[in-house]
Amino acid sequence: MGIVIFNGMAIGTLFTLFVVPAMYVHRQRPWAAMRRATETARAAAGARRHATGRLMRG
């Protein structure tokens, strides 16, 4: 019975330390790419606003 408890705790620890964080990183990648694209587009729009001297909404 001690072997079962030890193996269960070892598997739980490995999942907590490695598998769960890896899944968060894996799921975050598409969102990070979209966030970078949005920031780049906003920066380009800001440069256009500054060059034209008028404020464009949207």
The tens digit of pLDDT for each residue in 33-57 reads 777 778 877 777 665 555 555 655 5
Domain ranges of the chain: 1-34
DSSP annotation of 53 reads T
pLDDT digits (tens, 9 = 90+) for 3-32: 999 999 999 999 999 999 999 888 877 777
Query: What is the C-alpha separation between 46 and 44, in angstroms, rounded?
Result: 5
